[in-house]
Amino acid sequence: MQKKKHSGLKWLGRGVFVILVAISLVLIFNEQIKSWMVSSYAPTVSKTTVKKNKQKKTRQADYDFSKVKSLDFQTVAKARIDKQAVNVVGSIAIPSIDLYLPIGRGVSNATLALSAGTMKADQQLGTGNYALAGHHMVKHGALFSPLYYRSEVGQMIYLTDATTIYAYKTTTRQFIKATDVQVINDVAGKRLVTLITCDKTGAGRLMIQGTYVQKWAFNRAPATVQKAFSSHFNNKY
């Protein structure tokens, strides 16, 4: 009896040790694991999936900027576990800086954990000021980080809903205050795209803005542009 009890305690001790080691590894490699969870997110963006997600009524998109918090491990893990957390309605590509991301509806923490998020409820591609928000991470290739490290005026920005591809040319790269929310408002007579991410401190914002150039039916766009949406999402290693 004593032998069995001793054996049970021995296995319990080993189990506790394994758990402690696992917890330690997670704490040590927290940032790397978080980056991997973001980087490995690759949803299907097709005419069918986009149409389905646009019609979803069960989960209304959240556009309350005040609820957005820093991107922590728990938020990313929860978003990856809940496959329905992100309503993917398109994708964005800026080939010159290796930025390729799904576009999710709204700015909920789950959406921004894995994609670029639409900042206004009724915005439409190719009209008005199409505004997207995205996190800036330590890993230079993840989410909107390439905007901070490599974006320049003159670069082309492509957006698609899997039916049509819209081309914009970057005209502005500017650091702004977090309170300057008016930059996402529509401007009479202009068709714009506005991309917002945090600056290095997290207190301010970096704004990238581009003007509309043209659009193509997806399968009639230049081959290099089509390839940008079919090769991979960013979040590259």
Active site residues: 135, 198
Residues 112, 135: Cα–Cα separation, whole Å = 7
Q: Phi then psi for 54, rounded to 5 degrees?
A: -70, -25
Cβ atoms of 114 and 82 within 8 Å: the answer is no
Residues 206, 227: Cα–Cα separation, whole Å = 28
Long-range contacts (CB closer than 8 Å, 24 or more residues apart) made by 24-28: none
Residues 112, 114: Cα–Cα separation, whole Å = 5
Query: Given the structure tokens 């809903």, which residue do they identify?
Result: 161
Query: Given the structure tokens 């974006």, which residue do they identify?
Result: 151
